[in-house]
Amino acid sequence: MKINRFTSLAAVGIGIVITTLAASFFIVERNLMLQSLADDLNQNLFYIESELRHTLGDKPVSQIQSVLDRAVAINQSLSVISVSVDGEHISASSSRSLVGRLLEKNYLPMTDMAQGIVKGHVDYREIINFYENNTDRKQIVLLITLDSKYVFDRMNRVAFFYGFGLFIVLGLIAIAVYIVADRVITAPFSRIINHAREGRSPADSYFIDELNELNRTLNETFSALNQKQYELKRSLAQTTYLDITSKNVRELMDQSVSRLARHPGYSVCMILRAEQAQLIVCACSINDDNPLCVGRLMTDGAKLDSGNPFIQAFMTKQAVVVEQISHDASALDLPLAPWQLLAAQKDAGSVIALPLISNVHDDPMGVLVVYASRASGFELQEIAMLEELAGDIGFAIRAFEHREQLEHHLTT
């Protein structure tokens, strides 16, 4: 995933988190405010109940109308407050039109107001016991209906402002963090990536030490790669020049592998020719008396699927690279093949085999083999240049052989 896309997704994720936090804060704040309102209502209703008991102790029920009207006028959270003597009909109410009506609403006990108001319930009831003339114990039912518009709309509006304020604050903080992260992390990473794509790494300075270290490492790596490519190009140019100056095929092959082996990082270079369905070493950059080189059969009857890179390159007409060459025969549980023995002798970590083809339509005449000391293999650009060199050598060998055949034909 690209860092810009990751940053955008992170910004979206932060936005979702902020929105969720703001919505959660709105819900929590709304519920807390409603519960606080319920506590205040319970306190006010306690005084109303006390006043009703005092009034009913000396006066009939018909005389409590003023108490109900005054309670609604003082407390804006109350829409209607009523009293029922028989528990079935409304005997007195702050809303005169309700007097005499049946109790049809689902009234919750006032003890459940703290939970009910959070769920949007507005109708509550409470049984009041009193003594008429200080002798007879009686009871009435106090009924209240909350003003939903005043209670819920007002509380929702206040809680919304709190939640929206939190959203704005967190959003501004997130934007500030995003801008700082973009300038301190994302933008430097993008510049480093662009420099890497362009194959250069200028000595820029960054706020974060790790980015400076990364930039320095890339700078050193690119310098080493550029130097390596320069050396390889020079070696290839000199090797190609040998195609013109060599007197015969033998000299061409010997000087080609010798010059190519001088490249830093290459340990052994060989040219194998196909003779009687076998690949035989015809030129090698190490001593001729080495039993693993000139004249050595490098196939030993191996087949294409045996893992021999020389045969694979010869049969497929494509470059074959083997990395992380193992030098331990016990680990493989098999005897080392000739190409592995040579790698073990020269402590080579990787090898590339390239077919020698003079023309794209011709069959390979052999294989160019290059052992490298590093185990990480060969770079793509390096492989491309070696493929071009193998083609030049193949073309030169074919040209020498045609010339020798022509000279032989003319002299006989």
Measured between alpha carbons, how far is residue 179 from residues 2, 7, 78, 201, 268 in Å?
18, 11, 50, 25, 54
Give the pLDDT confidence score for residue 4 in this predicted structure: 63
- Per-residue pLDDT band for 199 (boundaries 50, 70, 90) equals low
Give the pLDDT confidence score for residue 304 in this predicted structure: 47
Q: Tell how far CA 135 is from the center of its chain.
A: 81
pLDDT at residue 211 tops 80: no
Take residue 402 and report the two structure tokens written for it. Answer: 């045609």
Residue 178 burial by Cβ neighbours in a 10 Å radius (0-12, 13-18, 19+): middle
pLDDT at residue 252 tops 80: yes
pLDDT at residue 246 tops 60: yes
Those residues with Cβ within 8 angstroms of residue 222's Cβ, 6 or more apart along the chain or in another chain: 196, 199, 200, 201
Take residue 399 and report the two structure tokens written for it. Answer: 């040209």
The closest alpha carbon to 355, from 251, 259, 274, 242, belongs to 274
pLDDT at residue 401 tops 50: yes
Take residue 311 and report the two structure tokens written for it. Answer: 């045969």
Domain with CATH 3.30.450.40 in the chain: 234-411
Give the pLDDT confidence score for residue 137 in this predicted structure: 80
- Angle between helical axes of 187-198 and 3-58 (0-180°, round to 10): 160
Give the pLDDT confidence score for residue 61 in this predicted structure: 66
Q: Which conformational region is residue 322 in: left (phi greater than 0), alpha (psi within -120 to 50 degrees), or beta?
A: beta
> Span 209-238, mean pLDDT?
65
* pTM of the predicted model over 0.85: no
CA dihedral (327, 330, 331, 335) in degrees, to 10, reads: 60
Give the pLDDT confidence score for residue 368 in this predicted structure: 94
Range ranked top by mean pLDDT from 82-86, 127-131, 175-179, 239-243: 82-86
Distance CA 389, CA 61 (A): 116
Specify whether the CB–CB gap between 293 and 287 falls below 8 A. Answer: yes
> Span 280-306, mean pLDDT?
69
Give the pLDDT confidence score for residue 371 in this predicted structure: 93
Give the pLDDT confidence score for residue 354 in this predicted structure: 94
Q: Tell how far CA 176 is from the center of its chain.
A: 22
Q: What average pLDDT is seen over the chain? A: 79
**What kind of architecture, by CATH, is found in domain 234-411?**
2-Layer Sandwich (3.30)
**What kind of architecture, by CATH, is found in domain 3-156?**
2-Layer Sandwich (3.30)
The DSSP secondary structure of 283-335, one letter per residue, reads EESS-TT-TTSTT-BS-TT--GGGT-HHHHHHHHTS-EEE-S----HHHHTSP
Q: In this predicted model, which residue has the larger pLDDT, 223 or 324?
A: 324
Range ranked top by mean pLDDT from 64-78, 106-120, 179-193, 308-322: 308-322
Give the pLDDT confidence score for residue 327 in this predicted structure: 63
CA dihedral (237, 241, 242, 246) in degrees, to 10, reads: 180
Domain with CATH 3.30.450.20 in the chain: 3-156
pLDDT at residue 332 tops 60: no
Measured between alpha carbons, how far is residue 121 from residues 77, 124, 210, 345, 357 in Å?
13, 8, 59, 90, 90
Residue 145 burial by Cβ neighbours in a 10 Å radius (0-12, 13-18, 19+): buried
Q: In this predicted model, which residue has the larger pLDDT, 312 or 2?
A: 312
Take residue 176 and report the two structure tokens written for it. Answer: 């500030």
The closest alpha carbon to 279, from 287, 268, 271, belongs to 271
- Per-residue pLDDT band for 171 (boundaries 50, 70, 90) equals confident
